Amino acid sequence: MEGANILVVDDDKEIANALDKLLTMEGFKVMKAFNGLEALDALVQHDIQLILLDVMMPKLDGLSTTLKIREEKNIPIIIISAKSEDSDKILGLSMGADDYITKPFNPDELVARVKSQLRRYITLGNIGNVTNDSQIVVGGLNLNKESKQLFVYGNPIRLTPTEYKILDFLMTNAGMVFSSEQIYEKVWKEPAYSVENTVMVHIRRIREKIEITPKEPKYLKVVWGIGYKIEKL
């Protein structure tokens, strides 16, 4: 993690320089860009492991830059913005950012979030889906099978035992659609009779815990008339 290349993108040069100094002191290698177009150029020229990205910038704003980056790369993007409304955070995260920090920020918190995102990225690599004996990863979801713990974009999420079993089953088989009956028999270990409502309630609760916008889910989706699936990213 130490020595990782971080790209700081902010049109305010004082903030960019302050972030450069802070992250350099932590052992990171820092490159700077002052608008979205410069950021895209830097990504072509350098091997970047994480981006700190302002939103309001000339030429190409931070959200548009995030969308462009996500067309090709899965590297961590942390948005740093003076916009602190929940709607702004939801928009940034739904555009593809991994985290959102509001200005003014606590330097220690920023460094901790940077290290958390780098740890996840370096451990998993530039891969959208990973499955092995100890963990299942689908995008920003990381289900640790040893500790029975779910992390969503690096943040621990509390699941009930039944919710864990459902998510384990669906994430293990990401991209496959299962009916309510199939899920019930796999998780509850008993024959399924009129179980649609029971499964639906648990699916809704899981979605509320893992989705940024539960009514427009990115991961846990319903296939109408058939069943449910975890989207394979």
pLDDT in tens, 38-89: 999 999 888 888 999 998 888 888 889 998 888 777 788 999 988 777 777 7
Q: For residue 79, give the CATH number of its domain.
A: 3.40.50.2300
Residues 69 and 37 in one domain: yes
In this prediction, residues 152-174 reach a mean pLDDT of 90
Determine the pLDDT at residue 125. Answer: 53
Give CA–CA dist 175/230, Å, rounded: 6
How many CA atoms, within 13 angstroms, populate the side-chain half-sphere of residue 179? 9
Residue at 103 is within a domain: yes
For tokens 């290698």, what's the residue?
A: 29
Residues 32 and 116 in one domain: yes
- For the sheet with 99-102, list strands across it: 29-33, 5-9, 50-54, 77-81, 99-102
pTM of the model: 0.57
Residue at 233 is within a domain: no
Residues 193 and 218 in one domain: yes
- Amino acid identity at 29: K
For 110, the domain range is 5-130
User: Which residue blocks in 103-195 are alpha helix, DSSP H?
Assistant: 107-124, 161-172, 180-188
In this prediction, residues 93-117 reach a mean pLDDT of 87
Residue at 13 is within a domain: yes
Determine the pLDDT at residue 127. Answer: 47
Residue at 81 is within a domain: yes
In this prediction, residues 176-186 reach a mean pLDDT of 95
Residues 71 and 34 in one domain: yes
Element housing 23 (H / E): helix 13-25
pLDDT tens across 36-49, in order? 999 999 998 888 88
- Amino acid identity at 133: D
Residues 26 and 124 in one domain: yes
Residue at 214 is within a domain: yes
Residues 161 and 108 in one domain: no
Residue at 232 is within a domain: no
User: Highest-confidence range of 30-39, 74-83, 89-98, 209-218, by mean pLDDT?
Assistant: 30-39
> Does residue 118 contact residue 196 with C-beta atoms inside 8 Å?
no
For residue 178, what is the DSSP state? B
CA distance to 59, 83, 177, 178, 209, per residue, from 151 (Å)? 35, 25, 23, 23, 10
How many structural domains does the chain have? 2
Residue 25 has pLDDT above 90, yes or no: yes
Residue at 34 is within a domain: yes
Residues 124 and 142 in one domain: no
